[in-house]
Amino acid sequence: MEFRLAERMGSIKASEIRELLKLTEQPDIISFAGGLPAPELFPVEEFKIISSEVIEKEGREALQYTTTEGFKPLRKIIAEQRMKASGVNVSEDNIFITSGSQQGLDFSGRIFLDKNDVVICESPSYLGALNAFKAYMPKFIEIPMDNDGMIIEDLELALKNNPNVKFIYTIPDFQNPSGKTLSLERRKRMVELSEKYNVPIIEDNPYGELRFEGERLPSVKSFDRAGSVIYLGTFSKTFCPGLRLGWVCAENNILSKYILVKQGADLQSSTISQRETALFMERYNLDEHIEKIKSVYRKRRDLMIKMMEKEFPDNCTFTYPQGGLFTWVTLEEGQNAAEILEIALKDKVAFVPGGSFFPNGGHPNHFRLNYSSSSEEQIIEGIKRLGKVLKSI
Amino acid sequence: MEFRLAERMGSIKASEIRELLKLTEQPDIISFAGGLPAPELFPVEEFKIISSEVIEKEGREALQYTTTEGFKPLRKIIAEQRMKASGVNVSEDNIFITSGSQQGLDFSGRIFLDKNDVVICESPSYLGALNAFKAYMPKFIEIPMDNDGMIIEDLELALKNNPNVKFIYTIPDFQNPSGKTLSLERRKRMVELSEKYNVPIIEDNPYGELRFEGERLPSVKSFDRAGSVIYLGTFSKTFCPGLRLGWVCAENNILSKYILVKQGADLQSSTISQRETALFMERYNLDEHIEKIKSVYRKRRDLMIKMMEKEFPDNCTFTYPQGGLFTWVTLEEGQNAAEILEIALKDKVAFVPGGSFFPNGGHPNHFRLNYSSSSEEQIIEGIKRLGKVLKSI
């Protein structure tokens, strides 16, 4: 049958990254393309104890339906641990459990966006968010960044000139893909502008807890006085992505809309995974676990940066991320990272070309490198191969 | 902040059932309102063995991201076991894993529906599907049913007169809420009409495996020759709803759209739950487990019907479901089930008023009763209470 699809299906394209991941699954390719956490750091032994205890003691409840907003003890511990550590004082009533923060992104699009509404985002921005929003057919205004993140004067100009901006989308810490961090001063200013122009902020914060050096910055949400910031959190980078658990933290007048949308979307997130994660956080110290992750990722970042300094040609620049999973490489104007990838794949090394991180196109002379999921040997060898490719063009 | 929401948010309302479930959570209320499977039938012991084996042998893979389309061995076993048993011969390439069949419903709306497009459905139809579709702002045409399900002449008339019908939504077996089953002959006719008018069928089939008597009917999908039927399956009624696992079975030209939508919606369903469910189905016999469920539900249905015959006044009629979870009660014209519920709640018994199962309103003189999640004692006492209420009005 020839199907007649909804108009929005014309806007949704396959994620270049996920398609690429398939290509790079060949075992002899060293891939810096993914965004995967290092599986050797998953707390498998602890999870084994936890999951057998959950099934033993509360098996029937854990396998049954639960409420749409999520398992209350998990919501409580998220409020008391994760949100408090990011400078936000809320109770479980402000927390709603999602299937990863990707679902929080999709729901944000669904709640706010009519066709041709405007989303303001960083330039570049997270591809998965752009794709989620595109299902609702908005226009994007990209705000340039410097080393302190989104340039606030440009943000204000965009808000002033566009009355149909529905939200500002920001990844304040170690942004995907750029690795850049929004400064403390700009976080405050962004919230002020949000209130002044009556435009909410979607704060996507998967990496804030993965700071390798310096002091953790309070989240954008921590400066929120008018209830204009909607915070998206996740356990995918600090615990286990395979469980698909994240959360939304917001005021009740808007959080209730997220819950309503989830009823139609998938009723609820996994009961058993929510109970397991809650018990893990009660029993063990997630912060200690995060320290382990950080010490491994820090070493890998240091090594990747050192290797890039040594192996890359002088016409490449790259960001120095103080945390998170990615660094962002800028080639000379006129160079094309997608074309370079084809050569690199022949030399058995992979990355993500940067073009698709710009919702309005252009900017072919960038690419993203992930250091969290490669071993030290892979980083050394992979960056050597990549340096050779870059020098050859 | 006063948020400016998308237009669609005006169409989405809280599920009356889930709000009701909260009311009926008081322990002294006997509730026939839910749609929950009986938790005492969950295979907790087997699940314990399975889940510890998964975490033991493949812990790191089980806690990591996986592919959007789902864990291949699970897709394979669904094709070979569940789809084959419903009369459909497909491979894993035609199976895509969702977070419950509710997600398949939401995605169907997203893929097909622009504002004011038409959805054809049974009258009444499943509230959760109607709510999922409403997010995409369609119009609904309700097709009346008799004891053999949707009346095919009315369906053809609706297809003939409405060129912007995007799909036919049907729950062919032991329909929620009516308990009715689409006859074999009508299944064939529905597929023929689907081809003739180039309108796909969304076959929502959560209950087909729960037939208490007579021979199982082949699914609507089993008659599909042109690839026009999209089948939604789930493990929520035959295994464990808390895992949130279902699937879509369709031809690749449309299944690829579902996968694309999932990338933006939540990337993938739980890796660990998919591996656990696959291993359960390899190790144990799901059909044997389903037999146990059926024998318990059959007894509960028999008892509820017997009690209704004895306790309900003569001006009530009700359906005799040959499987599934629900029976559907029709009061006299002019009576209002929502008002009767208020009285019933005072007498500590609950049901779902039928009005919200009709997307275009009206029909206040019906209600739905669930028998799967109540004990025999609760059924006896609850129907007595309800009979008293019905006789008193």
pLDDT tens string B233-273:
999 999 999 999 999 999 999 999 999 999 999 999 999 99
Confidence at residue A175, expressed as pLDDT on a 0 to 100 scale: 98
Q: Give the DSSP letter of residue B210.
A: -
The two three-digit tokens of residue A113, written as one number = 């966006």
B214 in A contact zone (CB under 8 Å): no
- Weakest mean pLDDT among A29-38, A225-234, A297-306, B107-116: A29-38
The whole-angstrom distance between B145's CA and the closest CA on chain A is 25
| Statement: residue B53 has pLDDT above 90 | yes
pLDDT at A20 over 70: no
Q: Which residues in chain A have Cβ-Cβ distances shorter than 8 Å to B98? A: 266
**Contact check, Cβ <8 Å, B271/A242:** yes
Give the distance from residue A387's alpha carbon to the nearest chain B alpha carbon, in angstroms. 29
Q: Residue B177 pLDDT more than 80?
A: yes
Burial classification of residue B72, based on how many CB atoms lie within 10 Å of its CB (0-12 exposed, 13-18 middle, 19 or more buried): middle
Tell me what the pLDDT averaged over chain A comes to. Answer: 95
How do strand B229-234 and strand B201-204 relate by DSSP bridges? Answer: parallel
Of B226, B242, B263, the CB nearest to A65: B242
Query: Which residue would you say has higher pLDDT here, A22 or A325?
Result: A325
The residue-averaged pLDDT of A353-363 equals 95
Alpha-carbon distance of A379 to A373, in angstroms, equals 10
B326-359 pLDDT, tens digit each: 999 999 999 999 999 989 999 999 999 999 999 9
| CATH top-level class of B45-283 | alpha beta
Minimal C-alpha gap between A114 and chain B (Å): 5
> What is the nearest CA distance from B353 to chain A, expressed in angstroms?
19
Instruction: Tell me whether residues B273 and A269 touch, CB distance under 8 A.
Output: no
| pLDDT recorded at residue A172 | 98
Residue B27's SS3 state is coil
Q: What's chain B's average pLDDT?
A: 95
Tell me the average pLDDT across B77-97: 98
Q: Closest chain A residue to B63 measured between Cα atoms?
A: A242
The candidate with the shortest Cα–Cα distance to B270, out of A263, A276, A25, A176, is A276
Residues 296-355 of A with CB under 8 A from B: none
CB contact under 8 A, B198 and A243: no
Confidence of residue A16 (pLDDT cuts 50, 70, 90): low
Any residues with CB less than 8 A from the CB of A292 and at least 6 apart, and which?
A41
B15–A270 C-beta distance less than 8 A = no
Closest approach of chain A CAs to the CA of B227, in angstroms?
A: 6
How many residue pairs bridge chain A and chain B with CB atoms within 8 Å of each other? 252
Residue A219 has pLDDT above 80, yes or no: yes
Q: Which residue of A has its CA nearest to B258?
A: A9
Task: Give the pLDDT confidence score for residue B24 in this predicted structure.
Answer: 66
β-bridge partners, B123: B144
Structural contact between residues A179 and A327, judged by C-beta atoms closer than 8 angstroms = yes
Mutate to test the interface with B, among A263, A269, A274 (most CBs of B within 10 A): A263
Q: What is the mean pLDDT of residues B178-203?
A: 98
Q: Do A266 and B60 lie within an 8 Å CB cutoff?
A: no
Pick from A116, A205, A112: nearest CA to A167: A112
Per-domain boundaries in chain B? 7-43+288-392, 45-283
A-contacting residues in B 96-135 (Cβ below 8 Å): 98-100, 102-103, 106, 110-114, 117, 128, 131-132, 134-135
pLDDT at A24 over 80: no
Q: Has this prediction a pTM greater than 0.90?
A: yes
Task: Note whether B265 contacts A: Cβ–Cβ < 8 A.
Answer: yes
Residues A154-159: what's their mean pLDDT?
98
Measuring CA to CA, which residue among B210, B110, B124, B138 is closest to residue B170?
B124
B241 to A65: CB separation less than 8 angstroms, yes or no:
yes
Write down the pLDDT at residue B11: 86
Confidence of residue B27 (pLDDT cuts 50, 70, 90): confident
Rounded Cα–Cα distance for residues B379 and B40 (Å): 16
- Percent of chain B surpassing pLDDT 70: 97
Report the topology of domain B7-43+288-392.
Aspartate Aminotransferase, domain 1 (3.90.1150)
Nearest to B63 among A195, A242, A269 (CB): A242
Mean pLDDT of B111-128: 97
Please answer yes or no on whether A39 and B52 come within 8 Å at the CB atom. no
**Nearest Cβ partner for B131 among A3, A102, A263:** A263
- Does pLDDT of B108 surpass 90? yes
Chain B residues in contact with A257 by the CB 8 A cut-off are 3, 5, 9
Whether pLDDT at A15 is above 70:
no
* CA nearest to A133, candidates B109, B8, B263, B98: B263
Q: What is the mean pLDDT of residues B301-325?
A: 97
Of A5, A64, A117, the CB nearest to B241: A64
pLDDT at position A13 is 77
Q: Stretch A340-351: mean pLDDT, rounded?
A: 93
Q: For residues B109-125, give the mean pLDDT.
A: 98
Tell me the chain B residues in contact with residue A273 when contact means C-beta distances shorter than 8 Å. 270, 272-273
Count of beta carbons in the 10 Å neighbourhood of residue A185: 10
Q: Which of B14, B68, B114 sits opposite A18 (nearest CB)?
A: B68
Record: contact B240-A100, CB cut-off 8 A: no
- Check A112 against B66: CB less than 8 A apart: no
Does domain A65-283 correspond to CATH entry 3.40.50.720?
no
Q: How far is CA A242 from CA A98, A236, B211, in A?
A: 13, 7, 34
Q: Cβ–Cβ of B264/A63 closer than 8 Å?
A: no
